[in-house]
Structure 1
Amino acid sequence: MPPVYPDERRQQILSLAREIGRVEVTDLVSRLTVAPETVRRDLGVLERQGQLHRVYGGAVFVGDNTFEPLLERRNSQHVADKERMARAAAAMVARLPENSTVLLDSGSAPQAIARAFPEGPALTVVTNGLPVATELAAKPNVTTWCLGGRLRESTLACVDEWARSRIESLTVDLAFVGVDGLTVHKGLTAMEPAEAAVKAAMLDCARERVLLAHHGKIGRDTFCRFAGLADIDVVLTDEQLDPGVAKEIEDSGARLVCA
């Protein structure tokens, strides 16, 4: 077998990280038939290039921070993790008293939460996501309010001044807000200014604020900062989160729930 040059090997690592969101040193050693030290050196090079972010035991992909995949594609990624997160979110909703108000952001994780919404006490739910509203329409105990505004094609979210001003006039008991990136240093970030402004308003109007952050989004910064970790109460993520990063989040004061 001809030798694999370092640049080729790093491209293989990057392609795998781009596909699944995260790579592990032990897995790469087996795939590439190289020493662990070689893999760690490659990960260090890719991190300095801004393509990966090193975490305990491997790295997460951050190279396309300006690229926003379509909602249809995101709905097919990390499905099992999002379903577990949705069940944990549904348990939080189930504890609310009757006639409570819930705000659900747009996106694939909020859509999974809407599917998992519990039957029981009457609730009012506000959302800026059209697919989220469609899922909620089948819930007999839920009264759904849709926010207007400009519809973004890639996320099917209502944004801009119309949506933001409506949110600013509300007070809700519990808000589930998505994120494109989360680091302890930079805080909560989104890829697009209009969505970032709406997310900031969602946090401001809620008595309890839950951040939805799949492990692949933690450890990366994207274009627009809209809040810090001090502005949320709970970080809801999945069980694959790096333990070191988990401790940093908990040390910041937010309650961490790994589903």
Structure 2
Amino acid sequence: MIGCQQRNEEGNAMQNDRIRQIMTILLQEKKVIAKDLASRFGVSLESIRRDLSELERQGAVRKFYGGAVLVEDLLPDGEAAVFQVRLTEHGAEKQAIARTAAALIADGETVYLDSGTTAAALIPYLKERRGLTVITRSLRSAAQLGMCDHLTVYCLGGAVKVDTLTNTGFMAQECLNYFSHIDTAILSGDGLVPTQGVVDFGMENLAFKRSLVERSGRVAVVIDSSKFGRTAHCLTCPTERITTLVTDGGADAQALETLRARGVEVMVAE
């Protein structure tokens, strides 16, 4: 049993490494052919198809018969590469977190979706819900979810931050004020300090996120284990306002116990 689990972990690590290499190729060549990748990596065509399907789930590529093309049309030149690479960093962990966090959201809810790449990984799961109202500052998320006629999507206005295509500043705050209550806020961040809360580097979103937290019935923080203990100067969500934390199995056990002791529901994605 242990040997089987170890082989699975090794297999996942190899797939994650291969996906990162495929993403590097895509950033250079914009398009890949599945059979060429299979030959290049010495794996089956089915393995490559799974890799491309994973990248498509992350929103990094669009598949076509026999291959895939890089999704760049929503991002300006230069910034596209940065965002697409971030999508694939800790990709397996982000997908597991997204799958687990999606179970918190019921049909018909009003949901805020943050602009980080972990939050963006929820997009395929939100598309499966019926009657959702989704509020976001991310132009990319709004464009993808807005294609679903069974969802109502609001993209809050503001000054566009070019590297993430996210609206920021006082206009985003003013738009948020039109919503008196949000059922679930899916919140990400640059770091998580268990004794303090979710932290960010940018001051421009501090007032917005604090206002968001105050009007949300549930605050679900989605953050991978690499960000545990990472400090930044802006506290966007204090620990006592976190309802649920969804993270991956690599999270520090003592940090998770600290959060539980402070009343946070902790969900570890498998």
Letter in 1 for 2:122: I
Q: Following TM superposition, where does structure 1 have runs of at least 4 consecutive aligned residues deviating by more than 6 angstroms?
A: none
Letter in 2 for 1:143: T
Aligned residue in 1 for 2:235: 225
TM value normalised by structure 1: 0.68
**Conserved in 2, the CA contact under 8 Å of 1:183 and 1:221?**
yes
Distance in 1 of aligned mates of 2:227 and 2:161 = 21
Aligned residue in 2 for 1:36: none
**Conserved in 2, the CA contact under 8 Å of 1:87 and 1:113?**
yes
CA deviation string 1:99-155 (max 9, x = no partner):
x21110111112110122252421111100111112212333211110010111222
Matched, 1:85 2:97: yes
**Conserved in 2, the CA contact under 8 Å of 1:130 and 1:146?**
yes
SS class of match (2:162)? coil
CA deviation string 1:184-227 (max 9, x = no partner):
23322101001232222221221111111111111111121122
Aligned residue in 2 for 1:126: 135
SS class of match (1:102)? strand
Give unpaired runs (5+ residues) of structure 1. 1-68
Return the offset for 1:181: 1.1
Return the offset for 1:243: 1.1
**What is the aligned-residue RMSD (CA, Å)?**
1.9
Written as runs of structure 1 = structure 2, the 5 A alignment for 1:88-103 is 88-93=100-105, 96-98=106-108, 100-103=109-112
Written as runs of structure 1 = structure 2, the 5 A alignment for 1:50-65 is none
**Conserved in 2, the CA contact under 8 Å of 1:167 and 1:205?**
no
Aligned residue in 2 for 1:71: 83
Kindly tell me: are residues 239 and 169 of structure 1, through their superposed partners in 2, closer, same or farther at Cα, counting changes over 3 Å? Answer: same
SS class of match (1:121)? coil
Written as runs of structure 1 = structure 2, the 5 A alignment for 1:21-40 is none
Return the offset for 1:85: 1.0
Match of 1:242 among 248, 252, 259: 252
**Conserved in 1, the CA contact under 8 Å of 2:195 and 2:259?**
no
Distance in 1 of aligned mates of 2:115 and 2:197 = 19
Aligned residue in 2 for 1:188: 198
Aligned residue in 2 for 1:143: 152
Return the offset for 1:97: 4.4
Q: How many residues align?
A: 189
Return the offset for 1:70: 4.1
Matched, 1:156 2:168: no
**Conserved in 2, the CA contact under 8 Å of 1:90 and 1:118?**
no
Distance in 2 of aligned mates of 1:109 and 1:210 = 12
Aligned residue in 2 for 1:213: 223
Matched, 1:108 2:117: yes
Letter in 1 for 2:94: K
Letter in 1 for 2:174: S
Give unpaired runs (5+ residues) of structure 2. 1-80
Distance in 2 of aligned mates of 1:137 and 1:248 = 39
The percent of aligned pairs where both chains have the same amino acid is 27
Distance in 2 of aligned mates of 1:155 and 1:118 = 21
Aligned residue in 2 for 1:169: 178
Distance in 2 of aligned mates of 1:204 and 1:71 = 29
**Conserved in 1, the CA contact under 8 Å of 2:228 and 2:252?**
no
Return the offset for 1:167: 1.4
Distance in 2 of aligned mates of 1:240 and 1:134 = 32
